[in-house]
Amino acid sequence: MDTAQYKLSLPSSTATFRANRYKPRHRTPTHAGTPGLVLVCAHGLPGVKELYEPILLRLFAHDEHNRLAGSPLQIVEAWAVDAPEGGDSDTMTYAHAIAALRQSIFLSHVDAYGGMHRVILIGWGDGANACILSSDFFPPGDPSPYEGMVLVDPAIYNDGDAPPTPAPLDLEWDSPDDAHVYLSSHTPWASWDSWMRDIFVKHSLIRLPDNGVALKSPYQSGKYSSAPLSFLPCHAPFSWVVWSESPRLTQFSFAGTRFSDGGVYDSPVKVANAIYAALEGMGEMYDMIIPVEGKL
């Protein structure tokens, strides 16, 4: 697939964020005017936007195969958004970045209602929370800026059940190879798919003044801080929850699709298959339900 890299700014802020734009390299021509899907993807922590590449390759392959078989579903392009400041930012700042991309010149021509293409958010873990909250940056009376969301293991818990936020780890190594050896034998990276771990090492390290390397953000080893959710800003018409483990909220059990084991890090192909199934069933999805005492 073809990749282009962009650096964008948050409105009314000095903060910047980066996003990659992905398009399938080989695509069977479709009839002019055929509507399609534009995917906007947000990663969890630990993570970087490039961890979506194995998933997107699988989604584009599904799309091409099924369109040859007559499927009307068409994925036009996909964007993967990095959390601002290398992962140090909070969930609302990440949500702001997602909204800023939607409002940018790159996607401002896409109208969720009546336009050529539809914008679908895909997020896992803390990135799923940012997807939910991103709609709060649009006027509540306006049509939803998104056609729907695919949420993979969102970090949402019943009140009091959220795990403690891990302390940041200041990890440093002499070289990327040393970092790879360490991450391959330590939690959580040791259980990852080797392709995902290689991508993480390639894109999550920075060079230090002494020529060593470290994680871009010490928070790459943990999660964003939990914050109480007292309102439901999400007004996308449909949402879908894909669980790789037991749902943390009983309210989600009726709306979730389960796959037997694995998750984004260790089974990206399974996750991609589940996401594609969700995209195919987007018109039959349930509205999201979150209790006001839930935790992000």
For residue 31, the number of C-alpha atoms closer than 13 Å in the C-beta half-sphere is 7
Write the CATH number of the domain with boundaries 2-158+222-288.
Answer: 3.40.50
pLDDT at 87 over 60: no
pLDDT of residue 54: 97
What tens digit of pLDDT does each residue of 123-172 get?
A: 988 888 888 888 888 887 777 788 888 888 777 666 666 666 666 667 89
Q: Strand pairing partners for 158?
A: none
pLDDT at 55 over 90: yes
pLDDT of residue 16: 86
What tens digit of pLDDT does each residue of 214-273 get?
A: 988 765 544 444 443 433 445 555 566 666 555 555 444 434 455 555 678 888 988 898
Percent of the chain exceeding pLDDT 90 equals 29
pLDDT of residue 252: 46
pLDDT at 292 over 50: no
Residue 264 near residue 198 (C-beta atoms within 8 A): no
pLDDT of residue 128: 85
Mean pLDDT of the chain: 77
pLDDT at 68 over 90: no
Tell me the C-alpha distance between 182 and 197, whole Å.
Answer: 11
pLDDT of residue 10: 86
Look-up of token digits 């800026």: 145
pLDDT of residue 103: 87
pLDDT of residue 235: 54
What tens digit of pLDDT does each residue of 12-44 get?
A: 777 889 999 999 887 766 555 667 889 999 998
Residue 83 near residue 18 (C-beta atoms within 8 A): no
Give the closest residue to 59 by CA, choosing from 33, 80, 34, 77: 77
Q: Which residue has the higher pLDDT, 108 or 81?
A: 81
* Cα 235–chain centre separation: 18
pLDDT of residue 150: 87
Residue 127 near residue 228 (C-beta atoms within 8 A): no
Strands 256-258 and 239-243: parallel
The structural domains of the chain, with segments of one domain joined by +, span 2-158+222-288, 170-216
Give the closest residue to 18 by CA, choosing from 92, 77, 104, 76: 104
pLDDT of residue 57: 96
pLDDT of residue 26: 73
Mean pLDDT of the 181-206 span: 92
